[in-house]
């Protein structure tokens, strides 16, 4: 069977390619370069080159020409593009996506915060801003450090700690569009609830705690571990049930003084996908079974499985926060800590190592 994945430059696309190929799928990739990370993998059958302008047209052409059976969009923009073209795509390939209504709430952080308010989910205090005066007024209300982020996915949040830094952040973000959010900064650890759902009912579930993030103020996991938490599971499943979610999603929380605060819902495969796979929860196979209308076996997993993404991400983080460099080294050389650095798939691993020191 043939499966087409988007976003060949993503580390989670590399993880999906390796995993699906080991399950005897032929893996095809969409990419803007033959040198994209997953394109270098020995587990990839073919890398199909496209550009943003002709993305949808080329996607349909690739599906028909290579007789693709399943389409799995990986990145946020790919999910949104596939959702826009879902009616046409479902005529030529097997594909599962959240409903347009569910996706619109998850994709817009302003709508998601209103959803959280309406349904009684704890969340950061949030103020919409569109100019510098509005941002300064929000900072006076919410205080520093402040979280400033676009309503729509695309640019990472910033964490200005004073008025000067806020002005600099706005100079970078406002040219990309006036729709921004200012949020109170929630201290504490980052947690993720991951699920594959069918009309709001979870079929596969996994949870993790972020041990290290890049940037250290809050961002993508560079080291994380599996956890079990009844409160986290209850909140995550309730949110996706309220959204009547179908497909995969990550519900991101911050935990502070025993309280979970909803940060966002990612309507896609998450960057830390490998941790769930290493723990025995196969969301990729589950998604394909969901597409085919087959039963999805329940998957249990152990708590305490630790995964590190050493190069370039955890290494870069250790440079930004040198006090944690020793933790980086201990995990790097600990054989019990799982890693995405595969000696049996050398080319992506070499690129990951070089990326820690050079722009490749």
Summarize pLDDT for 309-323 with one digit per residue, the tens: 999 999 999 999 999
C-alpha R_g of the chain: 20
Per-residue pLDDT tens over the stretch 224-265: 999 999 999 999 999 999 999 999 999 999 999 999 999 999
User: What's residue 360's pLDDT?
Assistant: 67
Measure the CA–CA gap between 114 and 92, rounded to whole angstroms.
Answer: 36
Cβ neighbours, 10 Å, residue 243: 24
β-pair partners for 72: 5
Token pair, residue 50, equals: 């496209």
Give SS3 for 40.
Answer: helix
Three-state DSSP string of 20-32: HHHCCCEEEEEEC
pLDDT recorded at residue 177: 73
> 2-95: which CATH topology?
Rossmann fold (3.40.50)
Question: Which of the residues in the chain have pLDDT under 50?
Answer: none
How far apart, in whole angstroms, are the C-alpha atoms of residue 249 and residue 261? 17
Long-range contacts of range 21-27, CB-CB < 8 Å, 24 or more positions apart? 21/45, 23/284, 23/285, 25/1, 26/1, 26/2, 27/3
Structurally, at CATH architecture level, domain 125-184 sits in 2-Layer Sandwich (3.30)
Q: Give, as one character, the DSSP assignment of residue 108.
A: B
For the chain, what are the domain ranges?
Answer: 2-95, 125-184, 189-355
Structure tokens at 359: 């722009």
Determine the Cα–Cα distance for residues 322 and 133; give it in Å rounded to an integer: 36
Question: Whole-angstrom Cα distance, residue 245 to residue 197?
Answer: 6
Instruction: Centre a 10 Å sphere on the Cβ of residue 320 and count the other Cβ atoms it contains.
Output: 11
Q: What are the angstrom distances between the C-alpha of 350 and each of 76, 127, 279?
A: 26, 44, 25
Please tell me the class of the 189-355 domain.
alpha beta
pTM of the model: 0.96
Ranges of H-type helices in the chain: 11-22, 55-65, 76-84, 86-89, 100-107, 109-119, 132-142, 163-173, 230-242, 273-278, 283-292, 315-320, 325-332, 346-355
- φ/ψ of 208, rounded to 5, equals -140, 165
pLDDT of residue 318: 95
Q: For the chain, give the number of residues.
A: 360
Q: Which among 74, 176, 153 has a CA at the least distance from the CA of 106?
A: 153
Cα gap 109→166, rounded to integer Å: 20
**Cα–Cα–Cα angle for 253, 259, 261, rounded to 5 degrees:** 30
């Amino acid at each position: 069977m043939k499966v087409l994945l988007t976003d060949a430059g993503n580390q989670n696309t590399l993880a999906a390619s390796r995993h699906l190929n080991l399950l005897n799928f032929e893996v095809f990739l969409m990419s803007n370069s033959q040198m994209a990370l997953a394109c270098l993998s020995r587990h990839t059958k073919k890398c199909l080159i496209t550009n943003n302008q002709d993305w949808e047209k080329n996607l349909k052409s690739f599906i028909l020409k290579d007789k693709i059976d399943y389409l799995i969009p990986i990145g946020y923009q790919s999910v949104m593009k596939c959702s826009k073209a879902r009616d046409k795509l479902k005529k030529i390939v097997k594909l599962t996506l959240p409903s347009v209504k569910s996706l619109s709430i998850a994709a817009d952080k302003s709508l998601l915060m209103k959803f959280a308010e309406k349904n009684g989910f704890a969340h950061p205090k949030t103020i919409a801003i569109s100019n510098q005066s509005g941002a300064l007024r929000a900072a006076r209300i919410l205080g520093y450090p402040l979280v400033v982020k676009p309503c729509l996915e695309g640019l990472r949040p910033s964490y200005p700690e004073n008025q000067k830094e806020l002005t600099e952040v706005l100079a970078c973000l406002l040219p990309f569009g006036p729709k921004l959010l200012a949020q109170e900064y929630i201290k504490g650890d980052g947690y993720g609830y991951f699920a594959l759902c069918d009309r709001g009912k979870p079929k596969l579930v996994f949870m993790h705690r972020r041990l290290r993030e890049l940037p250290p103020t809050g961002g993508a996991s560079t080291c994380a571990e599996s956890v079990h938490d009844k409160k986290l599971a209850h909140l995550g499943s309730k949110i996706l049930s309220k959204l009547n979610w179908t497909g995969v999603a990550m519900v991101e929380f911050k935990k502070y003084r025993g309280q979970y605060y909803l940060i966002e819902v990612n309507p896609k495969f998450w960057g830390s996908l490998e941790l769930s796979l290493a723990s025995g929860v196969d969301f990729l196979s589950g998604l394909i079974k969901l597409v085919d209308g087959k039963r999805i076996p329940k998957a249990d997993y152990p708590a305490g499985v630790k995964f590190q993404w050493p190069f370039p991400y955890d290494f870069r983080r250790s440079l930004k926060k040198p006090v944690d460099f020793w933790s980086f080294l201990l995990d790097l050389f600990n054989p019990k800590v799982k890693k995405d650095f595969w000696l049996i798939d050398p080319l992506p691993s070499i690129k990951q190592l070089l990326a820690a020191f050079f722009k490749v």
